[in-house]
Structure 1
Amino acid sequence: MKLIFCYFGGATLSCLFLVLLQLHCSLSQKSEGALTVVENTEGGRGVDEEEEVTVDNDDDDDGVFEVVQPNEQWQTLKPDQAVPAGSHVRLNLQTGEREVRLGEEQLKYWTQQHREEEKSRSSIDPDELKRAMKKIKEDQSSQDSAPSRFRPLDELKKEMADLDLLVETDVQIMRRLLDQFNSSNSTMEQRLSILQELEYLVHQVDNAQTLCAMGGLSFILQGLNSSDVRFQENSALVLGSAVASNPVVQVQAVEGGALQTLLTTLATTQPLNVKKKVLFALACLLRHFPYAQRHFLSHGGLQILSELFRADAGGILRTRIVTMLYDMISEKELISQAGLDPVQDPAHAERLRQYSQVSLQEELMEEGWCSLVPQLLQSTEHDYREKALRALLAMTPVCLDQYRSDGALLGSLLTLRLQYSELIQSEMILGEETSYFTEMVELIDSLQVKVK
């Protein structure tokens, strides 16, 4: 039997009687425990005046009781009911009945677990889960019964053959297109369509080489001499796409007379769209190909471009020409830079030798390009100005003296720097990106430093 301690802070006689009555009931049920009765010292008579009792049941209790599983709410405890250890039991002084709920530690963990279970029950609908599982089983069974989505290529070819369909390779397609192009029954519209298909195919390096081996280069050059403007445009596009970054085709094109044909087309009166496409083909033919660049200079290419530059008032052709010249100057400088390992690049010495035979910058100065390129700075397009500034910096080694004596160039540089500085400030106020205008100012500053 455990000792029972009662603490009273001014307790009334009725309160003492209820406590003794409750103690007597507990002893008559052979339930040993420790009770602590604390009276509310605030002196009210409502529910707030309830006494709180904590009961710990011993495991050696001989009586048989109905065990109540408490929760977070207070519930009435009957005389023949017992509670698990750690439960919180109180004596309601208003009703005279015992009430029980979970203890403080149990209540903390029970509340957390209860919330998780409620969340889980609210997020998962059992009926919906059953329907989803049923659908998964049905989909799985349908996939198992359906034929495979991927079948062997031979099987597909056989089925296509049964349907009178033919699977062609790129080589077979180009052969068929060439035969149709050379056919006397082909109309101009059909030939234009064939050129468009070929332009798509020759972006592949192997296809472009195969087209040249089939003799396709000759009819492309013939198309450049056609009187039909659309035929000239599409032929130039096919040629440019075929020679771009393709040394094998570049060599065959130069040896086949493509360079002379392109220069002749530029030198004659042609619509603007034709000249744009021809300049594209010429730039692709000259890029990273010093052999073609040397022939370009020897055939008066810079003179033809200078006349084209002067005649172009809109600036579209001027920008393409200046960009092409800048690319040619830059790639020669990159090849001439030291630091390349000849062991890893055995062809470096041969490239150096070939580029040494290309006197591009000297001829640029002789053909008057030192005064032509600055005219592009008068354009209102930022892109045109950028191309001009980069070309002017690349041409500085041979054009520096002319730059210093060119008052129009020096004035343009001052005006442009002021303009782009104001644009930078405006963009900064608006919180927008200023990197492009900052780069333009840096180009102008670099050129001004060299000119001083």
Structure 2
Amino acid sequence: MRLIFCYFGGASLSCLFLVLLQLPCSLSQKFEGALTVVNTEGGGGADEEEEVTVDDDGVFEVVQPNEQWQTLKPGQAVPAGSHVRLNLQTGEKEVRLGEEQLKYWTQQHREEEKSWSSIDPDEVKRAMKKIKEDQSSQDSAPSAFRSLDELKKDMAELDLLVETDVQIMRRLLDQFNSSNSTAEQKLSILQELEYLVHQVDNAQTLCAMGGLSFILQGMNSSDVRLQENSALVLGSAVASNPVVQVQAVEGGALQTLLTTLATTQPLNVKKKVLFALACLLRHFPYAQRHFLSHGGLQILSELFRADAGGILRTRIVTMLYDMISEKELISQAGLDPVQDPAHAERLRQYSQVSLQEELMEEGWCSLVPQLLQSTEHDYREKALRALLAMTPVCLDQYRSDDALLGSLLALRLQYSELIQSEMILGEETSYFTEIVELIDSLQVKVKYQHVLLRGK
């Protein structure tokens, strides 16, 4: 401890100040260490100090000063740097923060201290008492949790209300076949069935229930909406589902689809019927053979000529291209020495489908090039792909078709300019480049065939 004697203007009063050299953490902490003692006995000039260091092992209560003067009680100590004074009016020692400390005493600190000091201890006690009372009342109340047996019982009751897909389809078919069902109800049933039959098992189950006949009845309905949605259900059911494809052909679905296309129907109905027909024929040579034998290409050619907008034309050409391509892929797979046991049978079935020959006979070599006159890039692309696929049987007609050759030259120039424009703008050009490559491939085949014929 340092003993410091201070003289205030010759005053005869004296005081002893204890200044703590190290700052404690809280008001409730105690410390042991060196203290500074300030004695203000009279006898000297003003503002004179004499320092004496004294070691002390005593324990003092620490007072945390703030920006306001507060009274020091006997036995209390203050942090180092605090400003201590003797109140000449009351004779008591007072303390507050020193000048350096006041610089960092911000408004935020004062507000926080005010908020803490405003807490009423009695209010805290009442709140704690209420918490205990609430906890006690919860412990005495009946439990909100049910036993495991009760839960099992509830789950068993709920299980009785849950319908499987099979039960749903059975219920829907019964409602669809009911004489009391309105057209709106049947339309809603078809929409639910279309969602369900996207699953392979559900589609097969629907056929086993006899649902296919109900769908075909819907296609023969006089209500255009039922025709459209029935065709959509049929297409979704047969898509990539060989079991349903077989049952559909044996159930007369192919004849129903072709009849619908051959008769006067709204555009939306024909679009859905073409979708169902394409799904039924895809990867199914048995259905393709029956399609050709029932005059399918002739019906499609009449539909192609009647479609001025090009929407149906594009769907028809895409379907023909898919049929040609899959047969070609099967033939190429036959060159693989390692084949699955069913490949030979598929190859035999596709050999019975004389698609390209009938395409030439029905005039498709001159029909498909008409799609190039469309302004839609997508329509042109599909036409070019179909023309390339048909070159084995249509090259002679391509060579003599001046309109086709002129269209290829014009399209080649147009897409080359589009590619240059897109490159200048920094846009993607791969799609247009692909179309140019299709045009070049077709031109090369036509010119090559023309040279061979001239050489003969």
What TM-score do you get using the length of structure 1 for normalisation?
A: 0.66
Q: 1:28 to 1:258 in 2, by over 3 A?
A: closer
Q: 1:374 to 1:85 in 2, by over 3 A?
A: farther
State the 1:97 CA deviation.
39
Q: 1:125 to 1:298 in 2, by over 3 A?
A: farther
Mapped contact 1:3–1:34 kept (Cα < 8 A) = no
Mapped contact 2:17–2:37 kept (Cα < 8 A) = no
Q: What secondary structure is seen at the aligned counterpart in 2 of 1:3?
A: strand
CA deviation map 1:41-79 (0-9, x unaligned) = 999999999999999xxxx99999999999999999999
Distance 2:103 2:247 in 1: 86
Q: 1:163 to 1:342 in 2, by over 3 A?
A: same
CA deviation map 1:340-359 (0-9, x unaligned) = 65655110000000000000
Distance 1:390 1:156 in 2: 62
1:121 to 100, 116, 124: 116
Q: 1:95 to 1:371 in 2, by over 3 A?
A: farther
Corresponding residue number in structure 2 for 1:347: 342
Mapped contact 1:5–1:36 kept (Cα < 8 A) = no
Q: 1:410 to 1:167 in 2, by over 3 A?
A: same
User: Which stretch shows the higher mean deviation, 165-174 or 76-85?
Assistant: 76-85
Mapped contact 1:52–1:91 kept (Cα < 8 A) = no
CA deviation map 1:244-287 (0-9, x unaligned) = 00000000000000000000000000000000000000000000
Distance 2:175 2:28 in 1: 115
Distance 2:333 2:8 in 1: 101
User: Which stretch shows the higher mean deviation, 362-371 or 186-195?
Assistant: 186-195
Q: What secondary structure is seen at the aligned counterpart in 2 of 1:53?
A: strand
CA deviation map 1:175-196 (0-9, x unaligned) = 1111111112211111100000
Q: What secondary structure is seen at the aligned counterpart in 1 of 2:6?
A: strand
State the 1:160 CA deviation.
5.9
Mapped contact 2:5–2:49 kept (Cα < 8 A) = no
CA deviation map 1:379-403 (0-9, x unaligned) = 0000000000000000000000000
Mapped contact 1:220–1:238 kept (Cα < 8 A) = yes
User: Which stretch shows the higher mean deviation, 267-276 or 78-87?
Assistant: 78-87
Root-mean-square deviation (Å): 9.2
Mapped contact 2:194–2:236 kept (Cα < 8 A) = yes
Q: 1:107 to 1:285 in 2, by over 3 A?
A: farther
CA deviation map 1:363-390 (0-9, x unaligned) = 0000000000000000000000000000
Q: What secondary structure is seen at the aligned counterpart in 2 of 1:18?
A: strand
What TM-score do you get using the length of structure 2 for normalisation?
A: 0.66
Runs of 4+ deviating beyond 3 Å = 1-38, 40-55, 60-158, 160-165, 338-344
Q: 1:97 to 1:212 in 2, by over 3 A?
A: same
Distance 1:430 1:298 in 2: 52
Distance 2:85 2:140 in 1: 67
Q: What secondary structure is seen at the aligned counterpart in 1 of 2:15?
A: helix
Mapped contact 2:4–2:52 kept (Cα < 8 A) = no
Q: What secondary structure is seen at the aligned counterpart in 1 of 2:25?
A: helix
User: Which stretch shows the higher mean deviation, 397-406 or 135-144?
Assistant: 135-144
Mapped contact 2:18–2:36 kept (Cα < 8 A) = no
1:394 to 381, 385, 389: 389
Do residues 104 (structure 1) and 99 (structure 2) align?
Answer: yes
State the 1:199 CA deviation.
0.2
Q: 1:309 to 1:64 in 2, by over 3 A?
A: closer
User: Which stretch shows the higher mean deviation, 332-341 or 43-52?
Assistant: 43-52
User: Which stretch shows the higher mean deviation, 43-52 or 277-286?
Assistant: 43-52
Q: Percent identity?
A: 95
Corresponding residue number in structure 1 for 2:24: 24
Mapped contact 1:199–1:237 kept (Cα < 8 A) = yes
User: Which stretch shows the higher mean deviation, 6-15 or 184-193?
Assistant: 6-15
Q: What secondary structure is seen at the aligned counterpart in 2 of 1:36?
A: strand
CA deviation map 1:193-238 (0-9, x unaligned) = 0000000000000000000000000010011111100000000000
Distance 1:363 1:9 in 2: 129
Mapped contact 2:2–2:52 kept (Cα < 8 A) = no
Q: What secondary structure is seen at the aligned counterpart in 2 of 1:19?
A: strand
CA deviation map 1:59-105 (0-9, x unaligned) = x9999999999999999999999999999999999999999999999
Mapped contact 1:365–1:398 kept (Cα < 8 A) = yes
CA deviation map 1:84-139 (0-9, x unaligned) = 99999999999999999999999999999999999999999999999999999999
CA deviation map 1:313-367 (0-9, x unaligned) = 0000000000000000000000000466565511000000000000000000000
Give ranges in structure 2 of 5+ residues lacking alignment.
Answer: 447-455
CA deviation map 1:124-175 (0-9, x unaligned) = 9999999999999999999999999999999878436657971111111101
Mapped contact 2:7–2:47 kept (Cα < 8 A) = no
Mapped contact 2:21–2:36 kept (Cα < 8 A) = no
Q: 1:158 to 1:89 in 2, by over 3 A?
A: closer
Distance 1:339 1:142 in 2: 82
Q: 1:21 to 1:291 in 2, by over 3 A?
A: closer
Mapped contact 2:20–2:78 kept (Cα < 8 A) = no
Distance 1:70 1:264 in 2: 101
Q: 1:265 to 1:76 in 2, by over 3 A?
A: same
Distance 1:355 1:28 in 2: 97
User: Which stretch shows the higher mean deviation, 16-25 or 130-139?
Assistant: 16-25
Q: 1:316 to 1:135 in 2, by over 3 A?
A: farther
Mapped contact 2:197–2:237 kept (Cα < 8 A) = yes
Q: 1:430 to 1:189 in 2, by over 3 A?
A: same
Q: 1:23 to 1:83 in 2, by over 3 A?
A: closer
